[in-house]
Structure 1
Amino acid sequence: MRIVVTGATSFIGLAVIEELLHGGHEVLAVVRPDSPGRKKLEGRKGIHILECGLDCIGNLAYSPVLAYSPALAYRTDVAGRIDVPGGSNPVRGADAWLHLGWEGAGSANRQNPQLQARNIGYALESLRTAATIGCTRFLFSGSQAEYGIYRTVMKEDGACSPVSEYGKDKLEVCRRASQEAERLGITYIHARIFSVYGPGDHPWSLVSTCIDTFLKGGHMEMGACTQMWNFLYITDAARALAGLLLAKAPAGVYNVAGEDTRPLKEYIEEIHGLCGGKGTYEYGKRLPNAEGVVSLMPDISKLTRAAGFRQEVSFREGIREMLKLRY
Structure 2
Amino acid sequence: MSSSRSILVTGGTGLIGQHVCAVLAEEGHWVTSLGRSQLSSRDPRVAFLSYDLRDPDALPEIFRGRSFDTLIHLAWETTHGRFWHAPENLDWVAASLRLIRLFADAGGSRVVAAGTCVEYRAPGVGPCVAGETEVAPAHLYAVAKDAFHRVLRSFCSDQRMSYAWGRIFMLIGPGEHPNRLVPSIVRSILRSEPARCSSGTQVRDFMDVRDCGAAFAALALSSVSGPINICSGTPVTIAEVIRTAAAFLGRPDLVRLGALPDRPNEAPNLWGDAGPLSDVTGYRATYSLSASLQAAIDHWRSSEQALVRHAAAGVSE
Indicate conservation of the 8 Å contact 1:216/1:278, yes or no.
no
| Other-structure match for 1:231 | 206
Structure 1 residue 190, shift from structure 2 partner: 0.4
- 1:45-73, CA deviations, whole angstroms, 9 ceiling, x for partnerless residues? 3322222111236754x43x6xxxxxxxx
Do the aligned partners of residues 149 and 286 (structure 1) sit closer, same or farther apart at CA in structure 2, a change above 3 Å counting?
farther
| Other-structure match for 1:80 | none
Indicate conservation of the 8 Å contact 1:58/1:129, yes or no.
no
- 1:72-106, CA deviations, whole angstroms, 9 ceiling, x for partnerless residues? xxxxxxxxxxxxxxxx94422x1200101102453
1:148-297 maps to which residues of 2 (within 5 A)? 148-152=121-125, 153-157=127-131, 158-249=133-224, 251-277=225-251, 280-289=254-263, 292-297=266-271
Structure 1 residue 17, shift from structure 2 partner: 1.1
Indicate conservation of the 8 Å contact 2:169/2:271, yes or no.
no
Indicate conservation of the 8 Å contact 1:257/1:300, yes or no.
yes
Aligned to 1:133, which of 106, 116, 121?
A: 106
**What secondary structure sits across from 2:201 in the alignment?**
coil
One-letter amino acid matched to 1:7: G
Do the aligned partners of residues 175 and 287 (structure 1) sit closer, same or farther apart at CA in structure 2, a change above 3 Å counting?
farther
1:7-26 maps to which residues of 2 (within 5 A)? 7-26=11-30
CA distance in 2, matches of 1:289, 1:54: 32
CA distance in 2, matches of 1:293, 1:259: 17
1:47-86 maps to which residues of 2 (within 5 A)? 47-56=46-55, 59-60=58-59, 62-63=60-61
- In the alignment, does 2:115 pair up with 1:142? yes
**Structure 2: gaps of 5 or more residues:** 303-317
One-letter amino acid matched to 2:284: R
- 1:260-295, CA deviations, whole angstroms, 9 ceiling, x for partnerless residues? 212221111111101112661222232445872442
CA distance in 2, matches of 1:218, 1:90: 55
Do the aligned partners of residues 148 and 287 (structure 1) sit closer, same or farther apart at CA in structure 2, a change above 3 Å counting?
farther
CA distance in 2, matches of 1:243, 1:151: 31
CA distance in 2, matches of 1:52, 1:237: 24
**What secondary structure sits across from 1:109 in the alignment?**
coil
Structure 1 residue 237, shift from structure 2 partner: 0.8
Instruction: State the TM-score, normalized to the length of structure 1.
Output: 0.84
For the aligned residue pairs, the C-alpha RMSD in angstroms reads 2.1
CA distance in 1, matches of 2:210, 2:193: 29
Do the aligned partners of residues 143 and 200 (structure 1) sit closer, same or farther apart at CA in structure 2, a change above 3 Å counting?
same
| Other-structure match for 1:70 | none
| Other-structure match for 1:71 | none
Deviates more, 1:44-53 or 1:185-194: 44-53
CA distance in 2, matches of 1:264, 1:150: 17
CA distance in 2, matches of 1:120, 1:131: 17
Indicate conservation of the 8 Å contact 2:115/2:166, yes or no.
yes
One-letter amino acid matched to 1:46: R
Deviates more, 1:204-213 or 1:273-282: 273-282
**What secondary structure sits across from 2:179 in the alignment?**
coil
One-letter amino acid matched to 2:246: H
**What secondary structure sits across from 2:32 in the alignment?**
strand
- 1:208-238, CA deviations, whole angstroms, 9 ceiling, x for partnerless residues? 1111111221112211111111111111111
Deviates more, 1:2-11 or 1:50-59: 50-59
Aligned to 2:80, which of 81, 100, 106?
A: 106
Aligned to 2:66, which of 81, 87, 91?
A: 91
